[in-house]
Structure 1
């Protein structure tokens, strides 16, 4: 084919991007675009916007860097805010383009977007490429998908699989027609009027006071700081701590936007294992990435069920009546429970929260307030920089006992959590 659009969604990288490589190989001219869906600027049924300023500011930075990477190779990146299918169809008609390449995302809204494009006569080429293990590679496991993570992991390990090899391609020359460079979309800035101040108390790693959003910066941080200083060797022991840049990997922030792939990260871990030796912590990093894969495959199996209140339960269940006062107290960190309030204030201030505290505050919303788990999941979507539809909804379902947890939900005792993880009150003093 002569021309096509590459629509970046949650795969904002040029390396280890198999679909992007395929598009380059099959097209004479490829138009890279990124569209911020303005639907996410609207209020949810619970009264708050779906995408807050943390994610916007982070995306503004990473998209400028993605554009620079493309321009250095003779290409460009059109940036736009609007309804994705409307913009894509209008561009296709204006430029006589009939093909779009885009990442496959197993969620209702994203799948509907593909259907609308196809109904407009556009051929959509898509691929699931956010997993550590390629879906084709684990086809025997997916054919009879085990609903419990433990059984899923056991089947993967029985096959002797760790991760799919990183794919490579020559990206030196990506020149596109001059007319595309002259378009207003080629120079448009994303969220140019957004005023945002990064709170230095964040647990996310920073370089020169800024987030790390460039692949080379990420790899430099991982190899020269996180790995060379042996934080990787202690991951399993420290992963449940509450604050600081090194207690956990923080990979979720980069993975959520596809700046770097799970396969690239595992190749870095494997190199460390070959030079320094494998240990329980390097296994546990793989284990956590496998959890991430598991939720993705679960969504491909059961997309239609995972946004209902009853989740995977076969019997209909009425959702609790939404209580705005309870939700305001929980979401704004005004419950009167120090650990919950500190955690929610960290989330709202920085767009990040430790995995341990995500579980604790989710449990508190569901079991103390009797709240609809979907309202909590939507608040996380609104606030988190590392929001990922699969992990976010998968974990909320798990805590609520409406997913695949064989124990039927997880209610956390807040006092025990304080005793285990903040006995001296350092975390709470940071945020209260």
Structure 2
């Protein structure tokens, strides 16, 4: 089909490299790139389903990252002679109206896997068809394209190991799409298009993108809060920052060769790749990461660590395809396993202590305070705080996953809820996943450097006591200047029983 005018609708694909939807739209004579600030993606919304609850969708950390990513994308498009239109409103209303106003023959976009996102896909596509505009959906979310899987996504195995072995044996990884040359924006050579229609519009502020009243959204002057100096990485948004991170991690620092050995770290920028914020906002293509790893293997070393980074990318793929397969059931209280034998509870006070990092269990509290202050948490930390909430407190796992949705700078629906369900025992693995948090702390933070970084009130304690301050006698508390219940909370549970089979 010959296309005179196309719209490229950007979503969580804020990049120009390996962007098939943009490549397809660039074949038109005129191209209008568009991004919609959807009010449903930011404010307090009902979770949905049985035992629903309300929670804020997007907090300040991800709002800041998204705003920077949009600014970076607009800069890239302008360098290519194009621009990025920013519009506020629901895409199913905004995009068709723009298509009609500029006489667009087609709208290209990337499909997304989660039920909420797919509902927007369908509604927008239907509204476009009603106006005589062709919606053209592409897929650029995963390392492996759905069409290249050994079985369709709706038939993939629900066990990761079987899925991984199948794709390793019988699935190729497509080459990345080149950055296209971009045609002019409609209106520059067409007097029938009103100038106001294609006016770029202002970039959204952090407050425009974050839930109303979110305490982390902005400072008193409306600017993004200053980054915490303890953060493992500042995570600047945008495609350039993503590609810079690849260069810094793989090539400049040569950290990939030890990734498998360091990936359970807790402090510092380079214990893991830290690619996830850019992957999940679409500033970085997983196929681009694969190509960089392949080049690294060719030029530096091929070992267990280079394999393990692809292993993690395939974990990410697995959850994307699991959401495509299971839809809303993925987010239900009983999860994919449809368990009805667990009585999840709701205790606002207990949840509040967990969320604030005031449980009295230092390893849990340090991780939650890092999450709140920076929007990021190590994989090891995520597993432990999730296990504490779901397996020790027995609070509805979806509440914790929703809290992560608000706070994480690298939130992705499939990975976040998939991993929470996995730890809570309602997801993709039948094995028990309760963590002994105290043992984990001693194993992965033996000198208590992580705990005391985020809990400075425990800084004067020896490592074994910093992990277990409740073992201090009254006299020792006085000696160290730490009074339990005053300087640091008493534990909510018996920490020695953490990870035991729940009653």
Report the secondary structure of 2:26's partner residue. helix
* Aligned residue number for residue 75 of structure 1: 82
1:199 lines up with 2:228 in the alignment? yes
Report the secondary structure of 2:146's partner residue. coil
Report if the CA contact (8 A) 1:398-1:410 is conserved.
Answer: yes
Choose which of 6, 10, 15 in structure 2 pairs with 1:4. 6
* Aligned residue number for residue 16 of structure 2: 14
- Aligned residues, how many? 424
Task: Name the CA distance, whole Å, in 1 between partners of 2:167 and 2:108.
Answer: 30
- Relative distance call for 1:415 and 1:60 in structure 2 (3 A) is same
Q: Please give the TM-score of this superposition, normalised by the length of structure 2.
A: 0.79
* Aligned residue number for residue 173 of structure 2: 163
* Aligned residue number for residue 200 of structure 2: 186
* Superposed counterparts of 1:353-364, under 5 Å: 353-364=377-388
Task: Name the CA distance, whole Å, in 2 between partners of 1:368 and 1:257.
Answer: 32
Report the secondary structure of 1:374's partner residue. helix
Q: What root-mean-square deviation, in Å, do the aligned CA atoms of Structure 1 and Structure 2 show?
A: 2.2
Query: Which is higher, the Rg of structure 1 or of structure 2?
Result: 2
- The CA deviation at 1:336 is 1.2
Q: Which runs of 5+ in 2 are unaligned?
A: 47-52, 208-221, 456-503
Report the secondary structure of 2:442's partner residue. helix
Task: Name the CA distance, whole Å, in 2 between partners of 1:427 and 1:181.
Answer: 55
Task: Name the CA distance, whole Å, in 1 between partners of 2:293 and 2:98.
Answer: 41
- The CA deviation at 1:214 is 4.0
- Relative distance call for 1:114 and 1:48 in structure 2 (3 A) is closer
- The CA deviation at 1:222 is 2.6
1:420 lines up with 2:428 in the alignment? no
* Aligned residue number for residue 139 of structure 2: 128
* Superposed counterparts of 1:321-360, under 5 Å: 321-360=345-384
- The CA deviation at 1:169 is 4.6
Task: Name the CA distance, whole Å, in 1 between partners of 2:87 and 2:62.
Answer: 16
* Aligned residue number for residue 103 of structure 1: 110
Choose which of 97, 105, 111 in structure 2 pairs with 1:90. 97
Task: Name the CA distance, whole Å, in 2 between partners of 1:379 and 1:329.
Answer: 13
Q: Which runs of 5+ in 1 are unaligned?
A: none
* Superposed counterparts of 1:238-257, under 5 Å: 238-257=262-281
Report the secondary structure of 1:297's partner residue. helix
* Superposed counterparts of 1:16-415, under 5 Å: 16-25=18-27, 27-45=28-46, 46-97=53-104, 99-120=106-127, 121=130, 122-140=133-151, 142=153, 144-159=155-170, 161=171, 163-171=173-181, 173-178=183-188, 183=197, 186-191=200-205, 194-197=222-225, 198-204=227-233, 206=234, 211-314=235-338, 320-407=344-431, 409-415=432-438
Report the secondary structure of 1:188's partner residue. coil
- Relative distance call for 1:115 and 1:98 in structure 2 (3 A) is farther
- The CA deviation at 1:192 is 6.0
Report the secondary structure of 1:133's partner residue. coil
Task: Name the CA distance, whole Å, in 2 between partners of 1:258 and 1:165.
Answer: 17
Report if the CA contact (8 A) 2:445-2:451 is conserved.
Answer: yes
- Relative distance call for 1:73 and 1:228 in structure 2 (3 A) is closer
- The CA deviation at 1:337 is 1.1
Report the secondary structure of 2:331's partner residue. coil
Q: Please give the TM-score of this superposition, normalised by the length of structure 1.
A: 0.91
Task: Name the CA distance, whole Å, in 1 between partners of 2:249 and 2:42.
Answer: 37
Deviations, residues 24-78 of structure 1 (Å, cap 9, x unaligned): 22x3222111122212332244454110010111111111110011111121111
Task: Name the CA distance, whole Å, in 2 between partners of 1:384 and 1:424.
Answer: 27
Task: Name the CA distance, whole Å, in 2 between partners of 1:180 and 1:255.
Answer: 36
Task: Name the CA distance, whole Å, in 1 between partners of 2:108 and 2:301.
Answer: 40
Task: Name the CA distance, whole Å, in 2 between partners of 1:175 and 1:278.
Answer: 45
Deviations, residues 151-178 of structure 1 (Å, cap 9, x unaligned): 111112222x463221225325544423
Task: Name the CA distance, whole Å, in 2 between partners of 1:181 and 1:405.
Answer: 55
- The CA deviation at 1:307 is 1.5
